[in-house]
Structure 1
Amino acid sequence: MQKILLSLALLAGFAAQAQATDEAIAYRYGMQLDVAQVLSITPVADVCGVVPVEMTYLDSHGGKHILQFSEFGSGCSN
């Protein structure tokens, strides 16, 4: 019975995450990603330093997700 309740709780958590497609999720090292198609990536800011970037993508089940990660800006000169 406990296994069934745990399974249902996990499924409910995954369903809630899948429905929250308009909110960006911050990337964590080692995070398992299911990227079937990249829809868009925000342009990298023209500054010298680390800036946030967002990638919108579809997973293998057609679910839409927004992933936020850091990238070094393009404004640095040698």
Structure 2
Amino acid sequence: MNTKAIYAACLFAALNICTLSARAEADVSPKTYTYGTQLDIKKVVSSKQDATPSCGVVNAQLTYLDSQSKTRVLDYRKISDSCNSDN
């Protein structure tokens, strides 16, 4: 069998797996954090916040896996990382 065909098939399979996982994450609707929300976080996948050059409160989003390895997304508000040297 041609090795180029095998490499191409492996690459195609890997791309399909990546596409399926990206679609699965895109289907998750974010939940907004409120005080007292019970969180079930097994592993943090990603964390992002609105970009701002100044210190203040910004919107942030946490993508994580729960104890059943389901992807969850949590929207919340936090102090900007720009505030790390301010009091």
Tell me the TM-score normalised to structure 2 length. Answer: 0.57
**Relative contact order (alpha carbons < 8 A, sep ≥ 6): 1 or 2 greater?**
1
| Cα distance, 1:64–1:21 mapped onto 2, change above 3 Å | farther
Write the distance in 2 (CA, Å) between the matches of 1:21 and 1:57. 14
**Shift in Å, 1:22:** 2.1
Q: What residue number does 2:61 align with? A: 54
User: Highest CA radius of gyration, 1 or 2?
Assistant: 2
Whether 2:38 is the aligned partner of 1:32: answer yes
SS at match of 1:65: strand
Q: What residue number does 1:8 align with? A: none
Unaligned runs of 5+ in 1: 1-19
| Cα distance, 1:37–1:21 mapped onto 2, change above 3 Å | farther
Whether 2:81 is the aligned partner of 1:70: answer no
Write the distance in 1 (CA, Å) between the matches of 2:68 and 2:27. 13
**1:28-55 CA distance string (max 9 Å, x none):** 1111110000000014633321101100
Where is the helix percentage greater, Structure 1 or Structure 2? Answer: 2
RMSD, matched Cα: 2.3
SS at match of 2:72: strand
Write the distance in 2 (CA, Å) between the matches of 1:64 and 1:21. 10
SS at match of 2:64: strand
Deviates most, 65-74 or 36-45: 36-45
